[in-house]
Chain A
Amino acid sequence: MATNTRPAAVAPQPAGPQGGKARRKAPTAVGARPQTGLRARLRRDRSLLLMCLPGVLLLVVFAYVPMLGNVIAFQDYSPFTGFRESPFVGWLNFQRVFADPAFWHAVQNTLTITAFQLVFFFPVPIALALLLNSVLSSRVRVLVQSVVYLPHFFSWVLVVAIFQQILGGAGLLNRLLRTAGFEPVDIVTNPDAFLFLVTAQAVWKDAGWGMIVFLAALAAIDPALYEAAAMDGANRWRRMWHITLPALKSVIVLLLILRLGDALTVGFEQLILQRDAVGQGVAEVLDTFVYYRGVRNGDWSYAAAAGLVKGLVSLGLVLAANKIAHLFGEQGVYQKA
């Protein structure tokens, strides 16, 4: 996001104090803002600071304090003794995590789902956007957009329930198969079909919504480019290859980076809802692993260590991916302000 790196154009800073004319103490010279004293700036900006206060407080309590709470990853924490009394054990929990085959199994499942969705989910919104972009009637476009955005706003419980009703053992599909004289298929509880199932659910829920970014990028293409190319004899496919796809390149790179940074996160609610139906063999991912080890089994320090590893690796992945994007001359997620 570039919001924090916006050029100075939007910041024509007022030269004088803003506390209202009546409260102005001494006239300040135009353009003297950088020299304004701390107290004057505080008086000028105190409402702004006050406005940020509730948000900052909530973040401090519910985001930053838990970050500090990760110290339990270095302790043998027990809820009865608490943070202060629990003994420190150094890197022991991390050694346990890295020596645990169950942890690596969860990592493997997570990366498998990520890789599978990168191939079978990621291109779908692009294809959808290209399809919709080629529809000339704006009424049809708006209609299709309203329909395909909709499932994005459904909860995972709903999506999983809908899939169960349609594809489950007693679901609509199998009923139709049986009436037509075919063998019923097991999709919802079959570990071998799980990758397809979770990806199909993700596509159904979010592919339409994911299309928006690409539609916006397509709308920003200057039609004169297409006209010039057509004049030069480029057909439909050549125009797509030489104009449309290059225009989408930076958006695609950006979304790939974000996906890469999130490589260790795969729809947590989606998976935990179905973990019991298909078993941990395929459905145990890092987040569910942390949840079951910590909250369910009470191995708090171990789970916190595993969670901390995940958080730090994810952070590293985002930073690295962003660096790579800069090397390729793309904008990336953020830039130095």
Chain B
Amino acid sequence: MSDADQKLVDGPVGVHGTGPGPADPARPPGGAGLRQRTSPRPVWDEEPGVAGKGAKAVALVAICLAVLLPLYTIVLTSLSTQATITRAGGLVLVPGELTLEAYRQVLSGGVVTRAVLISVFVTTVGTTISMLVSVLAAYGLSRPGSLGHRAVLFTFLVTMFFGAGMIPTYLLVSSLGLINSWWSLILPTAVSAFNVLLLRGFFMGLDQGILEAARIDGASDWRILGQIVLPMSKAVLAVIALFYGVGYWNAYFNATLYIQDFDRMPLQVVLQSFVLQGVDVPGQVDVGSGQLAPVAVQMAVVVIAIVPVLVVYPFIQRHFASGVLIGAVKG
């Protein structure tokens, strides 16, 4: 992984080292002449048959649809009127009459609104704390041979191979008085040794000459970290922050374990009880008026739980390249 560290910033995984290939061999034939000229296919590689190309295109389209189709129908249903949903008999595939009513109801105060605010709070505070602690620890561990280096590194490594287990952790959180407190959703998962080591690997791969020069000029480690290392590491920091942020936003079980009042539950728990268990959204759905199917409200809650991920994802997705991800998937 070390060699890849420098290259992990930006750029898709270049497979044949091609530039932007304007031609699209996976698409069914058409404009073949143009494709011949601009094809990035190396000369020694034989052209696959029509059947092979067709099968490949079908496979790629099917894979993408398997991901996108469920999302499409859920978003569409959340935007549909009761009449459209009734006519479809459930999830809507063909757009009919559209309305924002479900979102207006869900977000006009009440359980879901509160859960969203709680999740936003936990995610922002948690990610901030996690990033601060992880960046500091990663830099602190980035110079082998420094005092206590091996012992501290070992402290982090051990937690990757042996977890204390759910019961003692629960008893600890409870004896610290954190039950029913949002801190119980943040502190126990605040440091991921894995993310710290990932960052550390990146910091160690930076040009040490620059850091050395700064050190000779009398810069303290705090200054080197803040003014040299961090500006050079924006991409990897964004990726790690995404990992932490998504972790906090998506966490479900810790909340059912540590939080007792339904009023204090984060969004994932509310999503679970409304959508999976079909509990009515209290004070949200006006059953009497019959204006809105609970299905639309349910799907609106699903969409609200996805949206933050969808919003952040494109900005950080472009940083996903070999280096960070080789390590990341191992986690």
Contact = CB atoms under 8 A, between A and B. Distances in A.
Interface of A: 1-4, 6-8, 10-14, 18, 20-22, 33, 38, 41-42, 44-52, 54-56, 58-70, 72, 79, 128, 131-151, 153-158, 160-162, 164-166, 170-172, 175, 204, 208-210, 212-213, 215-216, 218-220, 223, 226-227, 230-231, 235-236, 254-255, 258, 268-269, 272-273, 287, 290-291, 294-295, 300, 303-304, 307-308, 310-312, 314-315, 318, 333-334, 337
Contact of B145 (A13, A145, A258, A287): A13
Given A6-B2, A144-B60, A18 B249 contact: no
Given A51-B137, A58-B133, 15 more contacts: A11-B204, A51-B221, A54-B133, A60-B155, A141-B13, A150-B313, A157-B271, A157-B272, A158-B271, A212-B322, A212-B329, A230-B46, A269-B252, A295-B170, A295-B257
A215 B44 CA distance: 22
Contacts of A151: 67
Interface string B247-277: 0011111000100000000001001100110
Tell me the dominant secondary structure on chain A's binding face. helix
A157 B198 contact: no
A213 B62 CA distance: 22
Nearest to A151: B67
A157 B276 contact: yes
Interface of B: 1-2, 4, 12-27, 39-42, 44-46, 48, 56, 59-60, 63-64, 66-68, 70-71, 73-74, 89-91, 93, 132-134, 136-137, 139-141, 143-148, 150, 152-153, 155-157, 159, 161-172, 174, 187-188, 190-191, 193-194, 196-198, 200-201, 204-205, 208, 212, 215-216, 218, 220-222, 225, 242, 246, 249-253, 257, 268, 271-272, 275-276, 299, 302, 305-306, 309-310, 313-314, 317, 320-322, 325-330
Given A3-B198, A11-B144, A162 B44 contact: no
Contacts of A143: 64
B141 A52 contact: yes
A230 B46 CA distance: 9
B201 A273 contact: no
A51 to B, nearest CB: 3
Given A65-B172, A72-B168, A147 B162 contact: no
A128 to B, nearest CB: 7
Ranked nearest first, the 10 interchain pairs of A and B with the lowest CB-CB distance are A69-B168, A155-B250, A66-B164, A51-B140, A55-B137, A307-B165, A52-B140, A216-B322, A66-B168, A3-B201
